[in-house]
Amino acid sequence: MRSKISIIGAGNVGASVAQCCLLKNLGTVVMLDAVENVAKGKALDMSHAAALHDQLFSVSGTSDYADTSGSEVVIITAGRARKPGMSRNDLLKINAAIVDDVTRKVVKHSPDAILIVITNPLDAMSQVAWKASGLDHRRVIGLSGLLDSSRLRYYIAEATGAGPHTVTGLTMGEHGDSMAVLTRLATVGGVPATKLLSAEKLAEIRYRTAHGGGEVVDLMGCSAYYAPGIAATAMAEAILSDSHTTYPCSVYMTGQYGVDGIYMCVPIRLGACGVEDIIELELTDNEKNQIAETARHIRGLLKELEE
């Protein structure tokens, strides 16, 4: 079956997602941007490489939402990105207006799509997109934990000398400084990371994971896009292949972990209908406190949005 993936915002993140989707042959890719020629130019550049990597599907650029019609997956990256010194939250009101607007247009043309939100601040923007979409909350999902836990897995791999793919790890809560980085549950080849690394090293890894995006911004002068591109593509693949994969994602909470009525990152099962279920883990008191704190932080942002 031919799938259609539309990407709203053809900036650094949008283009990175598009290229990953093409490399994986997930389906036809449409990149939409307010600046039409940027989307068209990037699509042409990617098309010029199609012969070199057995690309099966086409990619196009547009600023017309009609061209996104009938998409199975729509990935929202439109918005402003962070500059050095800016937090994700500095983008709150500007990006909320953009996400609200683009989501309404997307859903008009693709009412059966599943939406993956990448625009920051992620958890609040996922909530804005869900409200604007009118869709069941299971069909609007934020990219957060898959990226954050990949950063965690990299730092543990770096510290132990293991291959990153042999490391497991989980982050929960906000896609931001208050996230809960659950090093207690991380493993290296099945061995608890707590057996291999000192408490001090694990604390350092938790800090670098939570601030990994900021570290990239400080180095490059713009926000990350290679890792977000691959992470969003993995989510799209799980949806399009109905793989029931367990990934940490930002989803609408309905009482799990004591949190209700906001988007927040938790482990979920992801398939063709979107969020199949939220997996509830036994947490320590300290971890429960962290979840409560990170949920408070997300609620604070949503309150700011209402003011």
Catalytic residues, by residue number, are 175
User: Rule CB under 6 A: is residue 106 a binding residue for ligand APR?
Assistant: no
Q: Are 205 and 117 in contact (CB under 8 A)?
A: no
Residues in contact with ligand APR, shown as a per-residue x/- string from 115 to 134 under the rule CB under 6 A: ---xxx--------------
- Distance from first CA to last CA of the chain, Å, rounded? 46
Among 248, 234, 165, CA closest to 26: 234
Should residue 174 be labelled a site residue for ligand APR when binding is judged by CB under 6 A? no
**Residue 264 · residue 173 · CB < 8 Å:** yes
Provide the 8-state DSSP code for 165: G
Choose between 133 and 183: whose C-beta lies nearer to ligand APR: 133
- Strand 187-188's sheet: what is its strand order? 167-168, 187-188, 191-192
- Is the distance from CB of 209 to CB of 215 less than 8 angstroms? no
Helices (H), 85-225: 92-109, 122-133, 145-160, 193-196, 199-210, 212-220
- Among residues 25, 35, 192, 198, the one that binds ligand APR under rule CB under 6 A: 35
Among the listed residues 7, 92, 96, 98, the single contact to ligand APR using CB under 6 A: 98
Of the candidate residues 20, 28, 74, 82, the single one contacting ligand APR (CB under 6 A): 82
Question: Does residue 146 interact with ligand APR by CB under 6 A?
Answer: no
Binding of residue 30 to ligand APR (CB under 6 A) = no
Q: Is 153 among the residues that bind ligand APR (CB under 6 A)?
A: no
Using the rule CB under 6 A, is 71 a contact of ligand APR?
A: no
Closer of 126 and 183 to ligand APR (Cβ)? 126
Residue 262 neighbours by CB under 8 Å, 6+ apart: 123, 127, 252, 253, 295, 298, 299, 302
Name the residue nearer to ligand APR (CB basis): 60 or 160: 60
259 binds ligand APR (CB under 6 A): no
Spatial contact of 171 and 209, defined as CB atoms under 8 Å apart: yes
Nearer to ligand APR among residue 129 and residue 188 (C-beta) = 129
Residues in contact with ligand APR by the rule CB under 6 A: 8-14, 33-35, 38, 77-79, 81-82, 91, 95, 98, 101-102, 118-120, 222-223, 225, 228
